[in-house]
Amino acid sequence: MSDFIFKEDDVLKYYYQITEGKIKLNNYSESGKEILHSIHEEGQSIGEYLLFLEDVGSPVNAIAVTHCQVAKLPKNTFFSLLEKDYRLCVNFKKAISQSLHFQHVMGKSATQSSTLKLKVLFDYLKGMQPETAPFAFRIPLTRQEMANYTGMRVETAIKTIKQMEQQNLVKIVKRKLFY
């Protein structure tokens, strides 16, 4: 599955709401390496911040990771809904704020060791869950996605995860990673 919802440089004219499936936001380096920015699931939106900018192309691709259904609202209809519903507007601002926070947290770890990069990613993901006990949170990413989020090669991510397991920072149970 690799259907594009929109591509890098597209000027968005719709608000996209995921009603089923997973979508990743990414782009590719000059060498063709994927840079993963985020993964969005049912109930989340993608590219919405671009609607507030006039004629600015998307800096990322939006690609279906699984079978997806996406609701599209024309930009004007979306803005009308925000104007009419204060709670919707606040929830929308909260979602954009969370996305910006994630980008800054991950950007801050860019120059850190591979262990710290993964720990920052895992802390962020676990921090959004109610369960805080050690090893109670299953990391919902593939090894490749972890590597792409952190700018590592997948081999480095796998090696680092094994080291983290030896340091009792993560547990691997039936190929599933727990933090």
Chain segment 108-160, per-residue pLDDT in tens = 888 899 999 999 999 999 998 888 899 999 999 999 999 999 989 999 999 99
50 secondary structure, DSSP code: G
Q: Quick: pLDDT tens for 69-84.
A: 999 999 999 999 999 9
Query: What are the backbone angles phi and psi of residue 140, rounded to the nearest 5°?
Result: -90, 25
pTM of the model: 0.79
Q: How buried is residue 151: exposed, middle or buried, by Cβ count under 10 Å (0-12/13-18/19+)?
A: middle
16 beta partners = 46, 72
What's the pLDDT at 1?
59
Q: CB-hemisphere CA count at 13 Å for 123? A: 11
